[in-house]
Each structure stands twice: as C-alpha cells, then as structure tokens.
Chains A and B, each alone.
Chain A
Amino acid sequence: MRNAKLKLATLVLLSCMTLQSCLFEDKDVFGSSSNARLEQLAEDTRSLLSDSEKVWVMQYFPAFKQGGYNYVLDFDEKSVSVACENTDSDYREQCLYRVVIEDGVVITMDSFSNLMHQFRNPNSSNVTGKGGDYEFIVCSASEEMIELRGKISRNRMKMYPLPQGYTVTSFLDSLKSMRGAWGGDYTIYSTDNERLGYSFGNKGGRSLEISCRDGAHLSIPLVYTLDGVELYHELNIEGFHGSLFSIKGEDLVAMDGDLKFSKEASSLMEYDKILGTWNLEYRNISKTLVHKTVEFVELERDKSIAVRGLGDYEIKMKFENGKLYISPQFLCEEYGAYLWLVLYDVRTGMAFFGDSEARGYYRVDNVTSTEYINIRDCGSVDGYSIGDLLLYYFSTPEASASNMKGIHSIMFDVELNRKY
C-alpha cells in the first residue's frame, strides 16, 4: 500500500514537472542553431585562410615537452605553402588542406609534406612519431588570430597574420636570430627585484626549466617571437606572472606581467655539499619504483664526481658552475660485452650514445637546498627530451648502432634525494 502511494506520488510529480516544460519557451542564447554557428565558423575560417592578402604564422606545439615551432603558412583555395623555422628560411613545401566540419571545425593538412608532418611521421624506431598533429580544431577565428587545438595532442596553438614589413624569409631569419640570443641560465626576479628562482636551459632551447625558491619545479614549453619568447602557458611564481617575454639587453622582461629573467652568474650548488650519500629513486622497465643508496665521491675537485653503488662500475658526472652533467659513457666489461650508460628519450625511443659531452643532461633542483636532485634534459638536442637513463650492452668498446647487443636496464624518472 505504501509502495503504491509512493508510485502514485512519483507519477503525479513527474506529470507536473513535464507540464512545466510546456509553459515556458526556451530562450535562444546564441541567436542561431549550433549547426548554423558551426558552418559560419567554417566559412569564416576558409575565407580568412584563402585571403590572398594574408600569410599566417602558426605557433605549433607538437608534444608538450618539445617546445614550440613557428610555421609560416600561405594558403590559397586548395593548397598551402609551408615554411618552418627549423629549416632553411627559403625552403618551401606544398601540401593540400581542407576546412571540414568534424568534431568541430577542423583544418586538416591532408596530403603529405615533410615539413608540415615532420612531428607526426612515424618510423621503425619511433612508431608514434614526435607527438605532432596534422589536424587542428578551430576554437575561434578572426582577422587578428585563429585559435587552434591539436586534434590528437590537444595542445593549444594559434595562428596570426605575418607582421607587416616582413617577408616569410626575413621573418624566419629574425626568429632564428632571436633563438640565438636566448638561452642559458637566468635568475628570476619580480619587477620589484625579489628573487623568485632560477631558470636553466641551453642556448636556443624550447622550454624553460625552472626551479622556484619554494622548491617547486616547472617545465614550460616556449616558442620564439620577434621580441623574445612566448610561453605555452603563463608562468606563475608566488603570484608573480608572465607569459610574453621580450629581450632587453641580457634580460628577459615580461610584457604582460611582473617577472624578469636576469642573466647573472649564480652559484647554485657547492661541490662539497653534494658529496656523500644519496637515495636514488627511479622507475624500471616495469614502471616499478626502485630505491638504491649511492655515494657521490670526489673524482676531480670542483670538476667531477663519481656515483658509486649501482654495480661494479661508477657513473661519472661533470660539475660546472654549480650544476651536474651526465654524458653517455662506458661503464664496464661484463659477460663478454661492454656496458654503456646511454641517454634516452622515452617518448621517441631515441637513444644517444655518442661520446659528445654536449648531449649531457643536467639536474635542476631547489637551489637553496642540497636535499634533492631531479634529472632533466638540458635541451642540447633540439626536438628531444632526454631525461632518462639506459644501460646497454655493445659488442665492442665503442658504442655504435652497428654493435648494439642488448639492454641491461632502464631508469625512468630518475631522482636523487636525501630522504632516508
């Protein structure tokens, strides 16, 4: 009986609620149907792209860690001429494109161009390419800017008209000059000269590695502009912020915030303070967290350190200006093979085992403390994020692609700390 009353009450309530929907008219918030708006956006995008007066600069972010690249795209009705800052400024390629309605309005570069698809093209050693897109969802379109999102990567990108007074070639040349002017180590200040942290990077790098005074570590991709750099997203340190930076002398100054990067020598770590016992943590090939205790031992005072405790070998690290560098190196001979430490980009599957020191990566940490070392890519090889270690056997003392024998172990997400 009780159930029956409940059912009855529910049905009466339902009837009243459904009747409500007949009483009031829906207000049209947008003024037209969603389909009409979609088609309008598609039409606007087509018109903007094929406008013969305009050449577009695209700030393209393939995979997050790689940083941004500038493309210059000259669209006509059917095809697009492609130029990119990471190749010769005079070099052009053509590919076809369309603006379609699919998952929103999408610009699809649907015939092959080595330049346009370089960040997506897979190969046998890198079956997922470099994480790039060939299709871009249009979020908004106007004469001043077309906001995009990569269909696969979901990275935010944008296109804006080529600045007045520049040709495609001169624009790319200017970007390259800017890239040559930027990079290295900076101290980060607020505009009222409060020291907030440090940023590290090689000349011409495409990301900022930042160590904040409160211990936070940030990694932000960036893209070059005519004035300096633009960050993928705003840098915010304790409320001080900025995303668009221009180069003024040797400093980088936020044009839209209150941060400043100052190129001053900074003592980051003292050699003596990093010697001693460390807790090494990393993830192995099964993604299991592994802990080992290692010793940082003096090799050459203020110049190099040996890391012992991993096996019958030691790993040498260079110490320079308060930073540590690791390079590919021979470790030991065992089981009839030669064990090397190889630097590894897990995302692309690329391994680096030349003996060039330029391919080292260095640590970034809380520079006011000697309790924590986080291994990061120093940006020495463009287009890669070399942040992991691979121990690999070769059949000869010299490591090369032709004498690879097999893997010993992999170390992902390497971190050193003094938490015991």
Chain B
Amino acid sequence: MRYRFRLISYLQGLKQIQDRAMKLRFKILAILSVLCILSCNKDAIEDASVISEPPAPANEFDEWLLENYVGPYNIDFKYRLEDKESSMNYTLVPADFKKSQQIARIVKHLCLEAYDEATGSRDFMCKYFPKMFHLVGSPAFNSNGTIVLGTAEGGLKITLYMVNYVDVSDIDMLNTFYFKTIHHEFAHILHQTIPFQTDYQDLSGKWYVQDSWLYNGNYLSQGFISSYSSKDVNEDFVEIISSYLTNDQKWWDAQCMAAGAEGGLILNRKLAMCKQYMKDSWSIDLERLRSIIQRRSAELEMLGL
C-alpha cells in the first residue's frame, strides 16, 4: 500500500513537471529562437574606424577661426552652408566667402568681446553663448511675405540669414539685420536658462497677438518696442534687450515719445525689468553693456574690413 502510494505520488509529481513544461513550452521555444538568431552573428569587429572622412583643406580664414572662435570660445563658426544644419522649409544659398569673413570679425568685436568686457572675462560667453554659428547667404522667406533674420536652436546654435547682403559701411543695417538678431537670440538663451520675472507678462498681457504681429501697426502705443514684440511675452522681452543694446539713448527716447504717455511708460517699465533681470541673474549692467557696444560700433573702421 505504501509503495503504491509512493508510486502514485511519484507519477503525480512527474505529471506536474510535465504539465509545467507544457505550459512553459512556448517560452522555451521563444528563448531558443532568439538564441539561434544571436548565435548566427559571426561578424568580426574591424580594427579601423568606419569614420575616416578627411576634413576639407583649411584656408587662412579657417586658421583665423581656430584662433579666434574655437580656441578662446569653443564656438564652431560654420560659414560654409551645411544642408543638415539648414532648415528644409526654405530655399537657401550659401554665404559669400568675403562677407562671411567680415561677419565673423564683426561678431567677435561687437558681440563676443563686448560681453567679455562687460563681464570682466571670457567665462560668461564660454559658458552661455551658443557653440555654433551657421551662416546662410540668402533670406529665409516665409509664405506670408516676412523673412527670418536669425534663429537660435536649443541654446546651441545661432543661424544668421542674409549674410550676402552685408554692408560693413552701414552700421544701422548691420544692427538691424544682424546684431539685433544675435542679441535677440542670445537673450532667448539667457531667459531659457534663467526665466525672467513672471509679472513682466502683466505689462502688456492683453495685447499679445501671436502670428498676427505683422499687422500690428499700433505696437508703440501698446508699449511694444517693435511689432514683433507683440507676438508673445518672450519675444517682447528679448526685443527690449536687443533694441536697447543696438540703439543709442536718443533713439530710445524718441520711441518712448512716439509711444505716447501710456506706451512710453510701459516701455520704460519693461526696460527697468530687463535691466533688473540682467543684473540679478547674470551680473550684467545692461547700461554699461550698451555703451560698450556703441563704442565698439564706432571702432568698426579699425577692423580693416
């Protein structure tokens, strides 16, 4: 009786194992299939790297960029149009070689070294300024008739368009089409790193019009420094900074006058908040930075462009 009981329990145990195996059979087969696939991989790893494309032969300008951008600031100044760095939404042409050289020298003088002077060292620009400049020769035309002057992407890259239209003798043109853009884009990077005061929004909250900014002819009286400012609060903020930096006090006062009592008041309040932000967040005196930029603008002739 005992043996029969043991045999029965032994057989029952076997059956349990068999049932469990049946349940697991699909998992076992799946694992086996994967192992079979893996076992077929017989490729040997080659010693040589597959990435061996030689760099393009360097010219004098490349050497200059190495010395003045890469070395001191770790900025890659791409003056040759790269398809993969360009927006696919626009038809673009490369920048003219001579004008690229001019832009590179001017950007260094009016932007990089201006901030260095205002902050006392290169550390600020090395840390916060985008690490890539990409130049495009033509404008980027939007379907609504506007053009893109520049873009800043992820704090990493600034793309400047219309380089082929550079006229080094016209500082107003340089400011309008290039430097205001650079300061504008850099200000975006700054406020994306450290946000500005939320109550800035309250100064013109009801007047922001998103993509209809193009048709906003009353921007000054609404307390906007440009029609583009009326797009949204972020553009508003950076437009105040970039406009202030690239124009003198006379210009600013004229804008406030034209804005009327209410508009002028809003503009000056915005400016005060921008100055406060730059001081508190970045230890930069906006007033001093502007005077440095204005002084350096007058020195452009000495660059031998």
List A residues at the B interface (Cβ < 8 Å): 7-8, 11-12, 14-15, 18-19, 21-22, 33, 35, 39, 42, 77-78, 94-96, 98, 100-102, 108-112, 117, 120-122, 124, 127-129, 134-135, 151
Which residue of A21, A112, A151 has the most chain B CB atoms within 10 A of its CB atom? A112
Docked CA distance A14–B28 (Å):
13
Q: Give every chain B residue within 8 A of A96 (Cβ-Cβ).
A: 80, 97
Docked CA distance A255–B85 (Å):
45
Partner of A122, one of B82, B91, B94, B97: B91
Mark each residue of chain B from 5 to 21: 1 if its CB lies under 8 Å from any CB of chain A, else 0.
00000000000000000
Q: A111-B94, A120-B91 are in contact. Are A127 and B141 (CB under 8 A)?
A: yes
Docked CA distance A11–B25 (Å):
10
**CB contacts between A and B, total, < 8 Å:** 97
Residue pair B141, A124 in contact (C-beta under 8 Å): yes
Mark each residue of chain B from 30 to 42: 1 if its CB lies under 8 Å from any CB of chain A, else 0.
1011001101100
Closest A residue to B52 using CB positions = A39
Decide if B100 is an interface residue (CB 8 Å cutoff).
Answer: yes
Q: Give every chain B residue within 8 A of A127 (Cβ-Cβ).
A: 90-91, 141, 143
Specify the main secondary structure of chain B where it touches its partner. Answer: loop
Partner of B93, one of A21, A22, A100, A112: A112
Q: Give every chain B residue within 8 A of A14 (Cβ-Cβ).
A: 29, 33
Docked CA distance A340–B139 (Å):
32
Docked CA distance A255–B94 (Å):
39
List B residues at the A interface (Cβ < 8 Å): 25-26, 29-30, 32-33, 36-37, 39-40, 50, 52-53, 56-57, 59, 79-84, 90-97, 100, 137-139, 141, 143, 145, 164
Which residue of A14, A33, A109 has the most chain B CB atoms within 10 A of its CB atom? A14
Which 10 pairs, one residue from A and one from B, show the smallest C-beta to C-beta distance?
A: A127-B141, A11-B29, A110-B80, A18-B36, A112-B96, A22-B40, A117-B93, A111-B97, A112-B137, A21-B40
Docked CA distance A15–B40 (Å):
12
Closest B residue to A34 using CB positions = B50
Q: A11-B26, A77-B57 are in contact. Are A112 and B52 (CB under 8 A)?
A: no
Q: Give every chain B residue within 8 A of A33 (Cβ-Cβ).
A: 50
Partner of B53, one of A8, A19, A42, A110: A42
11 A-B interface contacts by CB (under 8 A): A22-B36, A42-B53, A78-B59, A102-B83, A110-B94, A112-B95, A112-B137, A122-B92, A127-B90, A127-B91, A151-B83
Closest B residue to A35 using CB positions = B50
Docked CA distance A122–B90 (Å):
9
Q: Give every chain A residue within 8 A of B97 (Cβ-Cβ).
A: 94-96, 111-112
Residue pair A15, B93 in contact (C-beta under 8 Å): no
Q: Give every chain B residue within 8 A of A120 (Cβ-Cβ).
A: 91, 93
Q: A101-B53, A134-B81 are in contact. Are A122 and B139 (CB under 8 A)?
A: yes
Q: Give every chain B residue within 8 A of A19 (Cβ-Cβ).
A: 36
Docked CA distance A128–B89 (Å):
10
CB of B226 to closest CB in A, whole Å: 20
Docked CA distance A322–B73 (Å):
71
Docked CA distance A135–B93 (Å):
10
Residue pair B40, A111 in contact (C-beta under 8 Å): no
CB of A99 to closest CB in B, whole Å: 8
Docked CA distance A360–B169 (Å):
44
Q: Give every chain B residue within 8 A of A109 (Cβ-Cβ).
A: 94
Docked CA distance A12–B94 (Å):
59
Q: A98-B56, A151-B83 are in contact. Are A111 and B95 (CB under 8 A)?
A: yes
